[in-house]
């Protein structure tokens, strides 16, 4: 399937993505991913954050492909713009986090202590989010869930997953993109409907 996409233009691939073709996303990643990572790294100066920016940027490609217009920009330029936006968002997030950490470290003298422990509250929210994600993962096809769990909980790169599972790298990328896009939809739906209700099994 991937060889059949090689002759298509970037713009044609985006059109396929808009129709839900996840192999087209993987093909775009092969073409633009290295350049996108370079751009993100120049903004973030951090390899892990740059990878996150690229991943989120391509998720945005998957989710917003229907809005792309070839009259406004080339597909590669549009993709790089999405990645750049995610990189800038991550820079701002990290700056806020560092500022808050410095404020907390420099301003605390015991006078502001309350019965509500912020760190305990944060830990509770982290646990809540983890439960939401784990429950959402149950709704993915086994192949997509396996790839995501091995990548994010096992720490394997996409290349390592391909070698470990004996599959082409393009297949791993397709599963990751499709799975993460579906996961985002499930989590977004849960946020709109109110508190997530985890499924518990005996």
* Average pLDDT score over residue span 3-25: 88
How confident is the model at residue 139, as a pLDDT?
A: 85
Give the span between the Cα atoms of 47 and 13, in whole angstroms: 27
User: What's the CATH number for 1-99?
Assistant: 1.10.1740.10
More confident residue, 156 or 39: 39
Average pLDDT, the chain: 76
Domain positions in the chain are 1-99, 120-202
Looking at domain 120-202, its CATH class is: mainly alpha
114-137: pLDDT as tens digits: 333 444 444 444 444 566 777 788
- 15 has pLDDT over 90: yes
**Helix 75-107 crosses helix 10-18 at what angle (to 10 degrees)?**
70
46-57: pLDDT as tens digits: 888 899 899 999
Q: What is the pTM of this model?
A: 0.53
Nearest to 13 by CA among 30, 27, 34: 27
- The torsion region of residue 155 among left (phi > 0), alpha (psi -120 to 50) and beta comes to left
């Amino acid at each position: 399937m991937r060889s059949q996409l090689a002759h298509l233009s970037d713009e044609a691939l985006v059109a396929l993505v808009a129709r839900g073709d996840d192999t087209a996303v993987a093909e775009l990643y092969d073409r633009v991913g290295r350049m996108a990572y370079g751009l993100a790294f120049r903004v973030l100066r951090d390899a892990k954050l740059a990878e996150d920016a690229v991943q989120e940027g391509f998720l945005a490609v998957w989710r917003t492909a229907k809005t792309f217009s070839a009259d406004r920009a080339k597909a590669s330029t549009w993709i790089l713009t999405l990645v750049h936006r995610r990189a800038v968002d991550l820079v701002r997030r990290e700056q806020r986090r560092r500022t808050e950490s410095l404020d907390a470290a420099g301003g605390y003298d015991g006078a502001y202590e309350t019965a509500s422990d912020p760190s305990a509250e944060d830990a509770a929210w982290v646990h809540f989010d983890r439960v939401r994600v784990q429950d959402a993962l149950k709704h993915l096809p086994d192949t997509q869930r396996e790839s995501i769990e091995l990548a994010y909980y096992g720490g394997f790169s996409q290349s390592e997953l391909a070698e470990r599972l004996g599959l082409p790298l393009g297949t791993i990328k397709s599963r990751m993109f499709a799975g993460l896009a579906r996961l985002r939809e499930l989590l977004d739906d849960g946020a709109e409907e109110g508190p997530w209700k985890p499924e518990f099994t005996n």
